[in-house]
Amino acid sequence: MEIRIYDAELNLQGIIENQTSLLWHRKYFEPGIFELHAPITKYNLSMLKIGNLVTMHGQGDAGIIEDIQYEENADKNSITAQGRFLSAYMGYRLIRGTVNVNTTVEKAMQELYSGCTPIPLVRLGDMGNFQTTISGQIANVNLLKFMTKLARAGNLGFSFVPDFAEKTITFRIYAGKDRTLSQSTNNRVIFSESYDNLEQVTYRANDQAYANVAYVVGVGEDGNEVGVTVGDAESTGLERRETFVNARGVSASGLSPEELLEKLRQEGRNALNAMPIAKSFECDTNATGNFVYRKDYDLGDIVTIKKANWGMQENLRITEILETYEYGAMVVTPTFGNPLPTSIDWGDFS
Protein backbone atom coordinates (compact mmCIF):
# COMPACT_ATOMS: atom_id res chain seq x y z
CA MET A 1 0.00 0.00 0.00
CA GLU A 2 1.34 3.39 -1.03
CA ILE A 3 0.72 6.33 1.32
CA ARG A 4 1.12 9.71 -0.32
CA ILE A 5 1.89 12.92 1.55
CA TYR A 6 0.85 16.32 0.17
CA ASP A 7 1.08 19.86 1.49
CA ALA A 8 -2.01 22.01 2.02
CA GLU A 9 -1.73 23.31 -1.57
CA LEU A 10 -2.03 19.70 -2.84
CA ASN A 11 1.61 19.45 -3.92
CA LEU A 12 3.12 15.98 -3.57
CA GLN A 13 5.80 15.88 -0.86
CA GLY A 14 6.65 12.20 -0.91
CA ILE A 15 5.56 8.58 -0.50
CA ILE A 16 5.68 6.40 2.63
CA GLU A 17 5.77 2.63 2.22
CA ASN A 18 7.24 1.44 5.53
CA GLN A 19 4.20 2.16 7.72
CA THR A 20 3.30 -0.47 10.32
CA SER A 21 -0.44 0.24 10.35
CA LEU A 22 -3.11 2.62 9.14
CA LEU A 23 -6.64 3.07 10.46
CA TRP A 24 -8.80 4.85 7.88
CA HIS A 25 -12.22 5.59 9.39
CA ARG A 26 -14.71 6.99 6.90
CA LYS A 27 -17.90 8.64 8.23
CA TYR A 28 -21.12 9.66 6.48
CA PHE A 29 -22.45 12.52 8.61
CA GLU A 30 -19.12 14.08 9.65
CA PRO A 31 -15.43 14.12 8.71
CA GLY A 32 -13.67 10.79 8.92
CA ILE A 33 -10.59 10.23 11.05
CA PHE A 34 -7.30 8.39 10.53
CA GLU A 35 -4.31 7.11 12.50
CA LEU A 36 -1.01 6.25 10.84
CA HIS A 37 1.90 4.43 12.52
CA ALA A 38 5.37 4.45 10.94
CA PRO A 39 8.96 4.02 12.16
CA ILE A 40 10.94 7.12 13.09
CA THR A 41 13.27 7.85 10.21
CA LYS A 42 14.69 11.13 8.91
CA TYR A 43 12.48 10.80 5.83
CA ASN A 44 9.28 10.04 7.78
CA LEU A 45 10.00 12.96 10.13
CA SER A 46 10.19 15.26 7.10
CA MET A 47 6.89 13.92 5.69
CA LEU A 48 4.65 13.58 8.74
CA LYS A 49 4.12 17.16 9.86
CA ILE A 50 1.04 18.93 11.20
CA GLY A 51 -0.90 20.45 8.30
CA ASN A 52 0.31 18.00 5.68
CA LEU A 53 -2.24 15.73 3.98
CA VAL A 54 -2.32 11.93 3.98
CA THR A 55 -4.00 9.81 1.33
CA MET A 56 -3.66 6.45 -0.38
CA HIS A 57 -3.06 5.88 -4.06
CA GLY A 58 -6.46 5.60 -5.77
CA GLN A 59 -8.31 6.79 -2.65
CA GLY A 60 -10.95 9.52 -2.93
CA ASP A 61 -10.40 10.80 0.61
CA ALA A 62 -7.53 12.64 2.25
CA GLY A 63 -6.81 13.50 5.87
CA ILE A 64 -5.15 16.47 7.55
CA ILE A 65 -2.40 15.67 10.07
CA GLU A 66 -3.57 17.41 13.24
CA ASP A 67 -1.70 15.43 15.90
CA ILE A 68 1.84 14.02 15.94
CA GLN A 69 3.39 11.77 18.56
CA TYR A 70 6.95 10.41 18.64
CA GLU A 71 7.66 7.42 20.87
CA GLU A 72 11.01 5.77 21.43
CA ASN A 73 11.95 3.13 24.00
CA ALA A 74 13.48 -0.34 24.19
CA ASP A 75 10.44 -1.84 22.46
CA LYS A 76 9.22 0.91 20.21
CA ASN A 77 10.41 3.46 17.67
CA SER A 78 7.34 5.00 16.13
CA ILE A 79 5.63 8.10 14.79
CA THR A 80 1.86 8.28 15.20
CA ALA A 81 0.10 10.79 12.94
CA GLN A 82 -3.62 11.40 13.51
CA GLY A 83 -6.24 13.73 12.12
CA ARG A 84 -9.54 14.21 10.36
CA PHE A 85 -10.56 14.16 6.71
CA LEU A 86 -10.51 17.36 4.65
CA SER A 87 -14.09 18.44 5.38
CA ALA A 88 -12.76 19.23 8.88
CA TYR A 89 -11.52 22.47 7.29
CA MET A 90 -15.10 23.71 7.78
CA GLY A 91 -14.37 23.65 11.51
CA TYR A 92 -12.06 26.61 10.86
CA ARG A 93 -14.98 28.79 9.80
CA LEU A 94 -17.87 30.55 11.53
CA ILE A 95 -21.41 31.25 10.32
CA ARG A 96 -21.26 34.94 11.15
CA GLY A 97 -24.17 37.17 12.03
CA THR A 98 -27.78 36.05 11.81
CA VAL A 99 -28.80 33.88 8.85
CA ASN A 100 -32.34 32.81 7.99
CA VAL A 101 -32.64 29.34 6.48
CA ASN A 102 -35.73 28.29 4.53
CA THR A 103 -34.82 25.86 1.77
CA THR A 104 -33.73 22.27 1.18
CA VAL A 105 -31.05 20.85 3.44
CA GLU A 106 -28.71 20.49 0.46
CA LYS A 107 -29.10 24.13 -0.61
CA ALA A 108 -28.73 25.27 3.00
CA MET A 109 -25.42 23.42 3.27
CA GLN A 110 -24.12 24.99 0.07
CA GLU A 111 -25.40 28.48 0.89
CA LEU A 112 -24.05 28.47 4.45
CA TYR A 113 -20.66 27.34 3.17
CA SER A 114 -20.68 30.05 0.48
CA GLY A 115 -21.52 32.70 3.09
CA CYS A 116 -18.40 31.97 5.14
CA THR A 117 -14.82 33.10 4.59
CA PRO A 118 -13.59 31.04 1.60
CA ILE A 119 -11.45 27.97 2.21
CA PRO A 120 -8.52 27.81 -0.25
CA LEU A 121 -8.97 25.51 -3.27
CA VAL A 122 -12.55 24.48 -2.30
CA ARG A 123 -15.37 24.70 -4.82
CA LEU A 124 -19.00 23.58 -4.68
CA GLY A 125 -19.96 20.28 -6.26
CA ASP A 126 -23.01 19.62 -8.43
CA MET A 127 -26.45 19.69 -6.85
CA GLY A 128 -28.13 16.34 -6.24
CA ASN A 129 -31.60 17.90 -5.85
CA PHE A 130 -32.34 16.19 -2.54
CA GLN A 131 -35.74 17.43 -1.35
CA THR A 132 -35.71 17.37 2.47
CA THR A 133 -36.33 20.94 3.69
CA ILE A 134 -35.20 22.92 6.71
CA SER A 135 -36.15 26.32 8.09
CA GLY A 136 -35.10 28.46 11.01
CA GLN A 137 -32.52 31.01 12.07
CA ILE A 138 -28.84 30.54 12.90
CA ALA A 139 -26.29 32.98 14.32
CA ASN A 140 -22.55 32.84 15.02
CA VAL A 141 -22.12 29.06 15.04
CA ASN A 142 -19.18 26.93 13.92
CA LEU A 143 -19.76 25.90 10.29
CA LEU A 144 -18.72 22.26 10.68
CA LYS A 145 -20.78 21.81 13.83
CA PHE A 146 -23.90 22.97 12.02
CA MET A 147 -23.12 21.05 8.82
CA THR A 148 -23.13 17.76 10.74
CA LYS A 149 -26.57 18.62 12.13
CA LEU A 150 -27.93 19.45 8.69
CA ALA A 151 -26.47 16.24 7.25
CA ARG A 152 -28.21 14.13 9.89
CA ALA A 153 -31.48 16.03 9.39
CA GLY A 154 -31.35 15.38 5.64
CA ASN A 155 -29.83 11.87 5.82
CA LEU A 156 -27.06 13.22 3.58
CA GLY A 157 -23.35 12.58 3.52
CA PHE A 158 -20.74 15.22 2.78
CA SER A 159 -17.04 15.28 2.06
CA PHE A 160 -14.22 17.35 0.58
CA VAL A 161 -12.87 15.46 -2.42
CA PRO A 162 -9.34 16.46 -3.51
CA ASP A 163 -8.17 16.50 -7.12
CA PHE A 164 -4.39 16.55 -6.79
CA ALA A 165 -3.84 16.97 -10.52
CA GLU A 166 -6.14 20.00 -10.82
CA LYS A 167 -5.25 21.37 -7.35
CA THR A 168 -8.90 21.68 -6.37
CA ILE A 169 -11.12 20.35 -3.59
CA THR A 170 -14.83 19.71 -4.26
CA PHE A 171 -17.42 20.07 -1.51
CA ARG A 172 -19.59 17.06 -2.27
CA ILE A 173 -23.06 16.43 -0.80
CA TYR A 174 -24.43 12.98 -1.58
CA ALA A 175 -26.90 10.27 -0.60
CA GLY A 176 -26.14 6.56 -0.48
CA LYS A 177 -28.03 4.09 -2.64
CA ASP A 178 -30.82 1.78 -1.47
CA ARG A 179 -29.44 -1.76 -1.87
CA THR A 180 -31.92 -3.54 0.39
CA LEU A 181 -34.00 -6.61 -0.37
CA SER A 182 -37.11 -4.43 -0.52
CA GLN A 183 -36.11 -2.68 -3.78
CA SER A 184 -35.20 -3.78 -7.30
CA THR A 185 -33.52 -0.70 -8.80
CA ASN A 186 -30.00 -1.31 -7.47
CA ASN A 187 -28.09 -4.52 -6.87
CA ARG A 188 -29.08 -5.98 -3.49
CA VAL A 189 -26.52 -6.36 -0.72
CA ILE A 190 -27.15 -8.68 2.23
CA PHE A 191 -24.90 -9.24 5.22
CA SER A 192 -25.71 -12.57 6.88
CA GLU A 193 -24.26 -15.87 8.06
CA SER A 194 -25.55 -17.57 4.92
CA TYR A 195 -23.39 -15.24 2.83
CA ASP A 196 -20.46 -15.81 5.20
CA ASN A 197 -19.78 -12.08 5.46
CA LEU A 198 -20.46 -11.46 9.16
CA GLU A 199 -17.71 -11.73 11.77
CA GLN A 200 -17.17 -10.16 15.20
CA VAL A 201 -20.79 -8.99 15.32
CA THR A 202 -22.07 -6.31 17.71
CA TYR A 203 -25.67 -5.03 17.76
CA ARG A 204 -27.11 -2.18 19.79
CA ALA A 205 -30.52 -0.48 20.02
CA ASN A 206 -31.41 2.63 22.04
CA ASP A 207 -34.75 4.48 22.14
CA GLN A 208 -33.87 7.31 24.55
CA ALA A 209 -34.13 9.98 21.84
CA TYR A 210 -37.02 8.40 19.95
CA ALA A 211 -40.21 10.32 19.15
CA ASN A 212 -43.15 9.42 16.92
CA VAL A 213 -45.54 12.38 17.38
CA ALA A 214 -44.55 16.02 16.80
CA TYR A 215 -46.53 19.07 17.86
CA VAL A 216 -45.45 21.87 15.52
CA VAL A 217 -46.12 25.55 16.20
CA GLY A 218 -45.58 28.36 13.71
CA VAL A 219 -46.90 31.88 13.14
CA GLY A 220 -49.40 32.95 10.47
CA GLU A 221 -49.30 36.24 8.54
CA ASP A 222 -51.64 37.76 11.12
CA GLY A 223 -49.12 37.03 13.89
CA ASN A 224 -51.28 34.37 15.54
CA GLU A 225 -49.88 30.95 16.38
CA VAL A 226 -50.65 28.09 13.99
CA GLY A 227 -50.20 24.48 15.04
CA VAL A 228 -50.22 21.04 13.44
CA THR A 229 -49.60 17.50 14.66
CA VAL A 230 -47.69 14.96 12.58
CA GLY A 231 -46.51 11.41 13.05
CA ASP A 232 -48.27 8.43 14.54
CA ALA A 233 -51.20 10.38 15.92
CA GLU A 234 -53.14 7.16 16.69
CA SER A 235 -50.49 5.80 19.05
CA THR A 236 -51.42 5.69 22.73
CA GLY A 237 -50.00 4.75 26.10
CA LEU A 238 -46.28 4.10 26.35
CA GLU A 239 -46.07 3.59 22.59
CA ARG A 240 -46.66 7.32 22.13
CA ARG A 241 -43.49 9.48 22.23
CA GLU A 242 -44.17 13.19 21.82
CA THR A 243 -41.90 16.10 20.92
CA PHE A 244 -42.38 19.84 20.35
CA VAL A 245 -41.12 21.60 17.22
CA ASN A 246 -40.70 25.38 17.29
CA ALA A 247 -41.31 26.44 13.67
CA ARG A 248 -41.88 30.13 14.36
CA GLY A 249 -38.97 30.85 12.03
CA VAL A 250 -40.94 29.56 9.03
CA SER A 251 -42.01 32.54 6.97
CA ALA A 252 -45.71 32.73 6.16
CA SER A 253 -45.13 35.47 3.59
CA GLY A 254 -46.73 34.66 0.25
CA LEU A 255 -48.13 31.34 1.46
CA SER A 256 -51.76 30.35 1.56
CA PRO A 257 -53.01 28.97 4.91
CA GLU A 258 -52.82 25.40 3.56
CA GLU A 259 -49.31 25.95 2.16
CA LEU A 260 -48.18 27.20 5.56
CA LEU A 261 -49.69 24.15 7.26
CA GLU A 262 -47.86 21.87 4.83
CA LYS A 263 -44.60 23.68 5.59
CA LEU A 264 -45.20 23.10 9.29
CA ARG A 265 -46.01 19.44 8.68
CA GLN A 266 -42.72 19.08 6.81
CA GLU A 267 -40.89 20.62 9.76
CA GLY A 268 -42.51 18.03 12.00
CA ARG A 269 -41.60 15.18 9.67
CA ASN A 270 -38.00 16.42 9.54
CA ALA A 271 -37.86 16.50 13.33
CA LEU A 272 -39.21 12.96 13.66
CA ASN A 273 -36.80 11.70 11.00
CA ALA A 274 -34.00 12.99 13.21
CA MET A 275 -35.34 11.16 16.29
CA PRO A 276 -35.54 7.45 15.37
CA ILE A 277 -34.84 4.44 17.53
CA ALA A 278 -31.05 4.35 17.24
CA LYS A 279 -29.93 0.98 15.92
CA SER A 280 -26.39 0.02 15.07
CA PHE A 281 -24.82 -3.15 13.80
CA GLU A 282 -21.05 -3.54 13.52
CA CYS A 283 -19.11 -6.42 12.02
CA ASP A 284 -15.88 -7.36 10.29
CA THR A 285 -16.22 -8.43 6.69
CA ASN A 286 -14.12 -9.49 3.74
CA ALA A 287 -13.63 -6.47 1.46
CA THR A 288 -13.31 -8.72 -1.60
CA GLY A 289 -15.88 -11.38 -0.69
CA ASN A 290 -19.23 -12.02 -2.34
CA PHE A 291 -20.03 -8.29 -2.07
CA VAL A 292 -17.02 -6.16 -2.98
CA TYR A 293 -16.40 -3.03 -0.92
CA ARG A 294 -16.56 0.22 -2.95
CA LYS A 295 -17.98 -1.68 -5.93
CA ASP A 296 -21.13 -3.42 -4.67
CA TYR A 297 -21.59 -1.20 -1.59
CA ASP A 298 -20.05 1.91 -0.09
CA LEU A 299 -20.39 4.44 2.68
CA GLY A 300 -23.96 5.81 2.90
CA ASP A 301 -25.66 2.89 1.17
CA ILE A 302 -28.65 1.18 2.82
CA VAL A 303 -28.29 -2.62 2.97
CA THR A 304 -30.09 -5.58 4.52
CA ILE A 305 -28.69 -7.25 7.66
CA LYS A 306 -29.80 -10.77 8.59
CA LYS A 307 -28.79 -12.42 11.84
CA ALA A 308 -30.88 -15.59 11.96
CA ASN A 309 -29.97 -16.83 15.44
CA TRP A 310 -30.92 -13.44 16.86
CA GLY A 311 -34.17 -13.42 14.87
CA MET A 312 -33.14 -10.13 13.31
CA GLN A 313 -33.52 -8.59 9.87
CA GLU A 314 -32.96 -4.86 9.44
CA ASN A 315 -32.46 -2.42 6.60
CA LEU A 316 -29.75 -0.03 7.81
CA ARG A 317 -27.55 2.69 6.35
CA ILE A 318 -23.77 2.24 6.37
CA THR A 319 -22.83 5.30 8.43
CA GLU A 320 -19.18 4.46 9.11
CA ILE A 321 -16.52 2.22 7.57
CA LEU A 322 -13.23 1.49 9.31
CA GLU A 323 -10.46 0.26 7.02
CA THR A 324 -7.62 -1.34 8.97
CA TYR A 325 -4.33 -1.93 7.16
CA GLU A 326 -1.84 -4.15 9.01
CA TYR A 327 0.64 -6.86 8.07
CA GLY A 328 -0.13 -6.42 4.37
CA ALA A 329 -3.86 -7.08 4.77
CA MET A 330 -6.97 -4.92 4.95
CA VAL A 331 -9.97 -5.58 7.22
CA VAL A 332 -13.20 -3.64 6.64
CA THR A 333 -15.49 -2.96 9.60
CA PRO A 334 -18.77 -1.29 8.58
CA THR A 335 -21.12 0.29 11.09
CA PHE A 336 -24.75 0.02 10.00
CA GLY A 337 -27.14 2.53 11.53
CA ASN A 338 -26.14 4.97 14.24
CA PRO A 339 -24.03 3.85 17.21
CA LEU A 340 -25.55 6.42 19.58
CA PRO A 341 -28.99 8.04 20.07
CA THR A 342 -29.35 10.41 17.14
CA SER A 343 -31.55 13.23 18.41
CA ILE A 344 -30.09 16.45 16.99
CA ASP A 345 -29.46 19.29 19.44
CA TRP A 346 -30.93 22.29 17.60
CA GLY A 347 -30.20 24.65 20.50
CA ASP A 348 -28.45 27.15 18.20
CA PHE A 349 -31.17 27.00 15.54
CA SER A 350 -34.65 28.41 16.07
For the stretch 256-274, pLDDT in tens is: 999 899 989 988 988 888 7
Lowest-confidence segment of 12-26, 138-152, 194-208 by average pLDDT: 194-208
- pTM (2 d.p.): 0.85
How confident is residue 118, by pLDDT bands cut at 50, 70 and 90? very high
The helix/strand count (H/E) of the chain reads as 4, 21
Cα 133 off chain centre by: 18
What pLDDT, on a 0 to 100 scale, did the predictor assign at position 240?
96
109: Cα within 13 Å, side-chain hemisphere? 37
Residues 48, 68: contact at Cβ < 8 Å? Answer: yes
The answer to whether residue 286 scores a pLDDT higher than 70 is yes
What pLDDT, on a 0 to 100 scale, did the predictor assign at position 194?
85
What pLDDT, on a 0 to 100 scale, did the predictor assign at position 347?
64
**In Å, what is the CA distance from 211 to each residue of 169, 244, 271, 274?**
38, 10, 9, 9
pLDDT tens sequence across 187-228: 999 999 888 888 888 888 888 889 999 999 999 988 899 999
Q: Give phi and psi for 104, each to the nearest 5.
A: -75, 155
The answer to whether residue 330 scores a pLDDT higher than 80 is yes
Give the Cα separation of 49 and 163 in Å (integer).
Answer: 21
